[in-house]
Amino acid sequence: MRLFRKVGNTLHILSFPGEDVEKGGYLLIEDMKAKKAMIAQVIDIQFANVPGVMEELLRSPDVEDQVQGDDVDPFGIMSQILYIQDARLLVCKIYGTIVNNGFFSDNNWLPSRTDSKIRKLSTESLMKLAGITKGLPIDLGETQDAAPMIIDACELDGRLNIITGKKGTGKSHLSKILVLGLIEHGATVVILDLNGEYTNLGLAADGTKNKHHEKIRVLTPAQNFKVTLYKTNLYVVMRLLTNALNLPGASAREFRSIWKFLEQNGTLTLHELGGAIKRWKCNQHVRDAMQSRYYAILHSGFFTDNMAEALDFEAVLTETDKKGGGAIVINLKDMAPSDRKMVVEYVLAKLQEILSQWKLRAVFLFAEEAHLYLRETYWDDIVTRMRHFGLFTTFITNQPNTIHENIYRQADNIFLLNFVNEHDLQAISRAARADAETAISIVRDLPPHYCLVLGQVVKDFPIVVKIRPLNIKTMGQTRYFFLKEREKR
Amino acid sequence: MLHGVEIPQRLIELSQKSMHTVKGRFLQPYWTESFESLAETAQESPPVSINSRALSTLITPLTPVRDGTPIIGIDTSTIKIGETEAGIIWAVRAAVVWGNNRGYRYLRLGPLPFHITEENKHAFFGGSVDHTFLNATSFSSVSAETQGRLCNLIERWIQASVSHSVSESIILWDGSLTAGTPGNPVSQISHILEAARKNRNAILAFSKTTTIRSLGWRITDFATRYEPPCLFEVADLPLSTSRRIHLLGRIYAANLSRGGRSFRLDIDRTLSREQGIEAVERLLGNELMFQGYPETLRLAHIYSTFTANDVIGIQSFLKREYGLKIINRRSIRKALFGPYGTRYED
Ligand SMILES: Nc1ncnc2c1ncn2[C@@H]1O[C@H](COP(=O)(O)OP(=O)(O)OP(=O)(O)O)[C@@H](O)[C@H]1O
Ligand SMILES: [Mg+2]
């Protein structure tokens, strides 16, 4: 490899056949005289603009061409000519400089063209140089140069993370790896599982219990996840009515009065609430509005008057924490959108309540396709207030533009799987943690199950990882009509 | 076809021998100049002019004869690769192209590098070398003449080899049948023409440009005025040429296809005029003409010409193979003369 030129914080390096360098790989440009070395990442590989190649291609006979012949090349020079013709231009982003084994983020010097040696930098050395720790290890898989890629769970702690990529590239799979890694280290994780694909986290592929089995709790609303009005705070119910069920302000005020009335009488049940709304002295419109919301609550099946079948969500959370961590999967599969919103409102309000009272240290929240159930005002809440209380969120989506710009700007870790769509690429380029050019260029060519990891966990050295397989019973994968036909193939 | 064509082993040996003198030297690479134009001037016959009576000369219309005569095109290219302290490195490539039933085939020789120095130039060109070129201290002097000689040398060898090994074919050369210029002795071409005749071959030499003028017209412009295919004979005209120059061919302006250009065509003078014209008619019947120019010759040109990529490839090959130290213009003087050398710079 030879240094060709430096433009800003980009290096152009000439590489020849046989020096197989991959997009995403790191290079060390060592200036022997200056005794300094630059670290750069290959973000694009292009054909070198070798003069005359066009003529060469135009005249060289290809397989279908009519002109064939023999070359008498006693010196064997042609192979050298072809070698030059196959030269590649590596576009590399400079990440910093090493002097006396110390790393500095200095890009402002020019390595010598003649005195510089360029070689691949192994991910292992990179991690050492960058100070990427393995404190509480989570094994993500392998790097391009087959080194194990282990991240530190501490770097997810207190952070905001995004996992995004196009459909079927392995986002949920990676998310599961993170969840299992976190609970292994004793964390409490809540998953908003839109497609019910985390419900089998405790089962191996063959259906037997795996080592995580005891730590996984699946809560399916209206089945094993029902709550009583009695155990629900008024403000939670109000948020639920106004946000999930769009109850207008005037009606909300009346509802508050009814609730307080029932609370004082000690008759805070669904049954009593229905009767009270019917009897309450108020404008007919207000009554109708309240009534329709009441029926929505009733029919969601999420609330119950039967104390025996009700779940104490707070207790579930605190017990999980006490037992040394675990995952609580909120199975939102097949729920009506308004019911889903209601449950999410409830869960988030409860989490906030518990966390603000210090009944739990912190909770990791994993939210799949959050735009389908998260109300507008929550996005900002999540990155500011909720985070402050100890709710650390990971968003998982295949539509990167559904995640608010604010979230991108503040995300600490971004896991990018393949994208090709220009709009999607544009969306991810808003992330402050990612150098837009790097992210877009690398992510475009990522094969499925490969992930570009950006941010805190890799100390801002973007690293491409082949995510490891998981021995987990899967479901909730992309649905197919011709499933049987597919399986036969 | 062309089984008999032997790559002249002596040529390869000459190249290898010359390259032994290059080990560990400095090489100042040669980048910019495109050889194409140089090659033309190097191989071009000297200017000849026609006086005004020429205009009455005869036009010969042609009828293509399709009889399966094999057509063979030969072309050679040289390019300067760089200068060493002792001399100049050139690379040569030759291509022979012929048609077969499915299309065209080529046989290509090279690139062959040659390191030509004051010491070894006699081995190449005999004693008649002009002493002003290849002066070791005149680094900027690019000797077009040396290059022309080298190109001729290799071209003649290939041409001779083809003339000896094929029969009843039409052999197309790039250039003219003019001899007597430096490095281009009359005897050599005469021998090749004779060998070709013995094997019942006809040699037709096409020039891409010509400097033969009359009343300010290039001769090739005359032929363009007549319905193709036709030949316009110039050879009979009183051509004023220098004494040394020998025209071994009859000179025509050839306008061979509609919409094409006219080219200067030299046909072996020892063939009868009729034999010569018949050879052109057989060429027309058995060959594709691309804008008035034979396809085999066009391909031979394309396959032999060097691109910039070739030059870089050869330079890096030399560096690797012979340990040449590639340096820029300024540092070669420093390397040779130390700091005092700098005053020679421009
Ligand atoms: N690293 C991996 N190794 C092996 N299999 C994987 C890997 N990543 C994903 N898979 C498998 O590929 C399929 C799709 O993965 P996954 O469901 O995680 O993709 P997704 O990006 O979440 O898709 P969607 O956009 O549909 O949600 C699943 O069957 C999953 O088990
Ligand atoms: Mg998914």
Looking at the DSSP assignment, which residues form a beta bridge with residue A218?
A: A329
Is residue B251 classed as helix, strand or coil in its secondary structure? strand
Secondary element (H or E) of residue B96: strand B87-100
**Residue B3 C-alpha to ligand 1 middle, in angstroms?**
61
Per-residue pLDDT tens over the stretch A104-125: 888 888 998 888 999 999 988 8
Chain B residue closest in CA terms to A50: B309
* End-to-end alpha carbon distance in chain B: 54
Ligand 1 atom at minimal distance to the Cα of residue A368: 27
Chain B residue closest in CA terms to A66: B103
* End-to-end alpha carbon distance in chain A: 44
Q: Which of A234-238, B200-204, B324-328 has the lowest mean pLDDT?
A: B324-328
Q: d(Cα A207, Cα B337) in Å, to the nearest integer?
A: 83
Among candidate residues A53, A335, A52, A350, the one with its CA nearest the CA of residue A221 = A335
- Whether A57 and chain B come into contact, CB under 8 Å, resolves to no
| DSSP calls for B117-177 | ETTTHHHHHTT---TTTT-TT-TT---HHHHHHHHHHHHHHHHHHHHHH--S-EEEEES--
Instruction: Please report how many Cα atoms fall inside a 13 Å half-sphere around the Cα of residue B338, on the Cβ side.
Output: 1
Among candidate residues A414, A479, A467, the one with its CA nearest the CA of residue A173 = A467
Q: Is A404 in the pocket of ligand 1 (CB under 6 A)?
A: no
| Segment A346-369 mean pLDDT | 93
Instruction: Find out whether B343 and B330 touch, Cβ atoms under 8 Å.
Output: no
Q: d(Cα A181, Cα A174) in Å, to the nearest integer?
A: 11
Q: d(Cα A355, Cα A371) in Å, to the nearest integer?
A: 23
Q: d(Cα A402, Cα B240) in Å, to the nearest integer?
A: 86
CB distance A75–B102 less than 8 Å?
Answer: no
∠ CA(B328), CA(B329), CA(B334), 5° rounding?
A: 95
Among candidate residues A128, A134, A187, the one with its CA nearest the CA of residue A157 = A187
CB distance B110–A72 less than 8 Å?
Answer: yes
Q: Which stretches of A351-416 are assigned E, i.e. beta strand?
A: 363-368, 391-397, 413-416
Chain A residue closest in CA terms to B295: A67
| Segment A74-91 mean pLDDT | 86
ipTM over 0.90: no
CB distance B112–A74 less than 8 Å?
Answer: yes
Per 3-state DSSP, chain A is made up of helix, strand and coil in percentages (nearest 5) of: 35, 25, 40
Query: How far away is chain A from the Cα of B105, in angstroms, using its nearest Cα?
Result: 5
Q: Does position A84 have pLDDT exceeding 90, yes or no? A: no
A163, A166, A173, A179: which to mutate for ligand 1, most atoms within 8 A of CB? Answer: A173
User: Which residue puts its alpha carbon closest to atom 29 of ligand 1?
Assistant: A477
Ligand nearest to the CA of A399: 1
Ligand nearest to the CA of A164: 1
- With beta carbons under 8 A apart, name residues in chain B contacting A69: 97, 104-108, 303
Q: Is A474 in the pocket of ligand 1 (CB under 6 A)?
A: yes
The top-scoring range by mean pLDDT among A29-43, B135-149, B255-269 is A29-43
Q: Is A171 in the pocket of ligand 1 (CB under 6 A)?
A: yes
Residue A79: per-residue pLDDT? 85
Tokens of A196: 């019910």
| Segment A41-63 mean pLDDT | 72
Query: How far away is chain A from the Cα of B103, in angstroms, using its nearest Cα?
Result: 5
Residues of chain B with a CB closer than 8 angstroms to some CB in chain A:
7, 12, 15-16, 91, 97, 102-113, 299, 302-303, 307-314, 316-317, 320-321
Query: What's the Cα-to-Cα distance from A106 to each of A110, A125, A269, A463, B144, rounded to whole Å?
Result: 11, 19, 66, 20, 51
Q: Is A469 in the pocket of ligand 1 (CB under 6 A)?
A: yes
- Whether A206 and chain B come into contact, CB under 8 Å, resolves to no
Tokens of A100: 């006396």
Instruction: Find out whether A191 and A328 touch, Cβ atoms under 8 Å.
Output: yes
**Residue B253 C-alpha to ligand 2 middle, in angstroms?**
76
Q: Is A98 in the pocket of ligand 1 (CB under 6 A)?
A: no
Which tops the pLDDT comparison, B220 or B302?
B302
Residue B223: per-residue pLDDT? 65
**Residue A171 C-alpha to ligand 2 middle, in angstroms?**
5
CB atoms within 10 A of CB A376: 10
Q: Is A176 in the pocket of ligand 1 (CB under 6 A)?
A: no
Tokens of B168: 């009843």
Nearest to B309 among A66, A69, A81 (CB): A81
Question: Would you mind telling me the total number of residues written for chain A in this entry?
Answer: 489
- Whether A52 and chain B come into contact, CB under 8 Å, resolves to yes
Chain A residue closest in CA terms to B320: A80
Q: What percent of chain A has pLDDT over 70?
A: 94
Query: How far away is chain B from the Cα of A75, in angstroms, using its nearest Cα?
Result: 7
Q: Does position B210 have pLDDT exceeding 80, yes or no? A: no
Q: What percent of chain B has pLDDT over 70?
A: 68
Place B233 in a pLDDT band, splitting at 50, 70 and 90: confident
Among candidate residues A51, A69, A74, A87, the one with its CA nearest the CA of residue B302 = A69
Residue B57: per-residue pLDDT? 54
- With beta carbons under 8 A apart, name residues in chain B contacting A62: none
Supply the DSSP symbol for A240: I
Looking at the DSSP assignment, which residues form a beta bridge with residue A100?
A: none
The top-scoring range by mean pLDDT among A279-288, A422-431, B79-88, B326-335 is A279-288
Secondary element (H or E) of residue A255: helix A249-265
Residue A489: per-residue pLDDT? 64
Q: d(Cα B196, Cα B267) in Å, to the nearest integer?
A: 12
**Residue A417 C-alpha to ligand 1 middle, in angstroms?**
11
Q: What percent of chain B has pLDDT over 90?
A: 12
- With beta carbons under 8 A apart, name residues in chain B contacting A68: 103, 105-106
Q: Is A143 in the pocket of ligand 1 (CB under 6 A)?
A: no
Per-residue pLDDT tens over the stretch A143-187: 999 999 999 999 999 999 999 999 989 999 999 999 999 999 999
Tokens of A229: 């009005």
Supply the mean pLDDT for chain A: 88
Residue B58: per-residue pLDDT? 67
Q: Which of A44-58, A187-201, A352-366, A401-415 has the lowest mean pLDDT?
A: A44-58
Is residue B88 classed as helix, strand or coil in its secondary structure? strand
CB distance B317–A82 less than 8 Å?
Answer: no
CB distance A67–B104 less than 8 Å?
Answer: yes
CB distance B103–A67 less than 8 Å?
Answer: yes
Place A276 in a pLDDT band, splitting at 50, 70 and 90: very high
User: Which residue puts its alpha carbon closest to atom 2 of ligand 1?
Assistant: A469
Among candidate residues B334, B333, B319, B85, the one with its CA nearest the CA of residue A2 = B319
Q: At what angle do helices A337-356 and A284-300 cross, to 10 degrees?
A: 80
Per-residue pLDDT tens over the stretch B268-287: 888 888 999 999 999 999 88
Per-residue pLDDT tens over the stretch B68-124: 899 999 999 888 888 888 888 889 999 999 987 778 888 988 899 998 887 777 777
CB distance A74–B15 less than 8 Å?
Answer: yes
Among candidate residues A487, A463, A480, A451, the one with its CA nearest the CA of residue A174 = A451
| DSSP calls for B311-346 | HHHHHHHHHHHH--EE--HHHHHHHHHGGGGGGG--
Q: d(Cα A148, Cα A140) in Å, to the nearest integer?
A: 8
Write out residues 288-347 of A within 8 Å (CB-CB) of B. none
Supply the mean pLDDT for chain B: 75
Query: What's the Cα-to-Cα distance from A207 to each of A204, A210, A471, B195, rounded to whole Å?
Result: 5, 9, 10, 88
